[in-house]
Amino acid sequence: AYKAAIFDLDGVITDTAPFHFKAWKKLADELGIRFTEEDNEQLKGVDRMESLERLLALGEHRYSDEEKQAMAADKNAYYQQLIEQLTAEDILPGVMPLLDQLAKNSVKLAIASASRNARTILNGLQLTDRFDYIADPTYARSKPAPDIFLYAAYGVKVHPTQCIAFEDSIAGLQAIKDCSMFAVSVGHDDLRRYSDAHVHRLDELLT
Ligand code: G6P
Ligand code: MG
């Protein structure tokens, strides 16, 4: 049996993609760049600066590092306003019973999110206390590098091979496989080929 369960946050515990989309779209509109929901879909699991780079690559103009820093800060300020509205009601179906069941079986619980807003989001969802460890992405190379999952495993003192991890992004699933954890993909069927097991939603796991 697994000794730790490691969760991605955005798209697994709660759906923040519409907020990211709204905030990136606002920036794109200001810059005259066409940015669609499909483009946003490609940014799942991709960290803030890399997401900005990919958005800017959809346009013609090139920007300085200073300009990019300012754009990322603006996007984040707007995103932070949007996620203020998160409450426990925004926890995705199946998450609470799954966390309960795992905790009851003494499985350690950790978060491995690329988001620097992870703590704010968990606080809004009133879930902070449910996790034994929240890995800090500050010094982690971004997914698909395995860093953040390794930090999470280290944080709960469980060897990676004894961890099960849940992800909704391809980059995240690659990270999980790269450190030999059992990977569960959550969401689209196309994720199946990157994972060891697949569910559309976490409530499918409940017996
Ligand atoms: C998650 C989301 C990405 C987001 C990244 C960084 O991985 O899926 O869409 O870009 O976190 O989020 P942040 O809150 O730090 O900008
Ligand atoms: Mg995600």
**What pLDDT, on a 0 to 100 scale, did the predictor assign at position 204?**
94
Specify the pTM.
0.96
Question: What is the residue with the minimal CA distance to atom 4 of ligand 1?
Answer: 47
Give the dihedral of Cα atoms 54, 21, 137, 196; nearest 10 deg. -90
> Could you say which ligand is closest to the alpha carbon of residue 117?
1
**What pLDDT, on a 0 to 100 scale, did the predictor assign at position 206?**
82
74 is catalytic: no
Is 130 annotated in some ligand binding site?
A: no
**CB 3 within 8 Å of CB 165:** no
Is 172 annotated in some ligand binding site?
A: no
Is the Cα torsion angle 75, 76, 80, 83 positive or negative in sign? positive
Q: What is the DSSP code string of 169-180?
A: SHHHHHHHHHTT
Kindly report the length of the chain: 207
Question: What is the residue with the minimal CA distance to atom 12 of ligand 1?
Answer: 115
User: 77: helix, coil or strand?
Assistant: helix
State how far the Cα of 95 lies from the Cα of 203, in Å rounded to an integer.
7
10 is catalytic: yes
Which tokens go with 97? 């019973």
Q: What is the DSSP code string of the chain?
A: --SEEEE--BTTTB--HHHHHHHHHHHHHHHT----HHHHHTTTT--HHHHHHHHHTTSS----HHHHHHHHHHHHHHHHHHHTT--GGGBPTTHHHHHHHHHHTT-EEEE--S-TTHHHHHHHHT-GGG-SEE--GGGSPPTTSSHHHHHHHHHTT--GGGEEEEESSHHHHHHHHHTTPEEEEES-GGGGGGSSEEESSGGGG--
Residuewise pLDDT in 10s, the chain (207 residues) = 899 999 999 999 999 999 999 999 999 999 999 999 999 999 999 999 999 999 999 999 999 999 999 999 999 999 999 999 999 999 999 999 999 999 999 999 999 999 999 999 999 999 999 999 999 999 999 999 999 999 999 999 999 999 999 999 999 999 999 999 999 999 999 999 999 999 999 999 986
Q: Tell me the pairing of strands 133-134 and 108-111.
A: parallel
- The ipTM value here is 0.98
